[in-house]
Amino acid sequence: MNTGKLSLVATPIGNLEDITLRALRVMQECDMVLCEDTRVTLKLLTKYEIKKPTFKADAHLSKGQLEKIKSLLEEGKHLCVVSDAGTPGISDPGTFLVDWVRSQKIDCKIETIPGPSAVTAALSLAGVVGNEWVFLGFFPQKKGRQTALKNLIVEKKATVFYESSHRIMKLLEELVEYVPTRTIAIARELTKMHEDFLKGVPEELQTLLKTDPKKQKGEFVVIVYPE
């Protein structure tokens, strides 16, 4: 029996030209693409004329879906895993899928095809001194949010996390309260047409976004600089 393969393929975080030659080759060679959202992935596949079957593999994988993936790998199939944007397994369902495949002791190779990541893209713009930083994934919505805010006060390293457009103003209000003198950076819509990078103390950014509501829209990476 042939050994199956699970390729974790990083895809563009915005600009569809941010794709590696290796990623394109691997998706051309695979038997199926496992997607967080098939509609999003089809835009990428269509642009590069890649015609492969897709299979929805989001955070709500059923037992039946997992068994199908297991069966395909045991048959020796080559499956690609992609998220909607960036590197699979970084704050998306890819983490669960990879962990589950490993737990099943399936005879398959698991490989990473590295590429775009919103975290490293934002940090490259930030000019954070030193090489240590803490990544929180998405900032807690309810449970654990107050604890996370209090931890920002004492954290000695730069702290990086994602925040949604629905909560960015609430976050800035909280940062004004908890870390009013700390430098904050907001990277918005990275690699897209309306990419923006804003830097200042919380109150400055709060005023800027209130003045220009368009800057409240999009996907955000937030960096809280150390003292």
User: What pLDDT is stored for residue 130 in this prediction?
Assistant: 79
Q: Determine contact, residues 187/197, Cβ cutoff 8 Å.
A: yes
Type and span of the H or E element at 105: none
Can you list the pairs that 55-62 forms with residues at least 24 positions away whose Cβ atoms lie under 8 Å? 57/81, 57/93, 57/97, 58/93, 59/92, 59/93, 59/96, 61/93, 61/96, 61/97
- pLDDT of res. 131: 81
Residue 193 · residue 214 · CB < 8 Å: no
Give the domains, in start order, of the chain with CATH numbers.
4-113 (3.40.1010.10), 118-224 (3.30.950.10)
DSSP letters of 210-221?
HH-GGGGSS-EE
* Whether 178 contacts 149, CB under 8 Å: yes
pLDDT tens-digit map of 173-212:
999 999 999 999 999 999 999 999 999 999 999 999 999 9
Please tell me the pTM assigned to this model.
0.90
> From CA 72, how far away is CA 78, in angstroms rounded?
8
In terms of DSSP bridges, do strands 133-138 and 78-82 run parallel, antiparallel, or are they unpaired? unpaired
Q: How many residues can be counted in the chain?
A: 227
CA–CA dist 211, 214 (Å, integer): 9
Q: What is the pLDDT of residue 92?
A: 85
Question: Are 209 and 169 contacting, i.e. CB atoms less than 8 angstroms apart?
Answer: yes
Task: Read off the DSSP letter of residue 86.
Answer: B
pLDDT in tens, 204-226: 999 999 999 999 999 999 999 99
Identify the weakest region by mean pLDDT among 33-37, 59-63, 198-202.
Answer: 59-63
- How confident is the model over 158-171, as pLDDT tens digits? 999 999 999 999 99
The 8-class DSSP code of residue 11 comes to: B
The amino acid present at 72, given as its one-letter code, is L
How many whole angstroms separate alpha carbon 80 and alpha carbon 26?
Answer: 8
**25-34, 50-59, 84-93, 103-112: range with lowest mean pLDDT:** 84-93
Mean of per-residue pLDDT scores for the chain: 95
**pLDDT of res. 148:** 96
What is the pLDDT confidence band of residue 1, given thresholds at 50, 70 and 90? low
Residue 2's pLDDT band, with cuts at 50, 70 and 90, is: confident
How confident is the model at residue 15, as a pLDDT? 96
- pLDDT tens per residue, range 114-170: 999 999 999 999 998 878 999 999 999 888 999 999 999 999 999 999 999 999 999
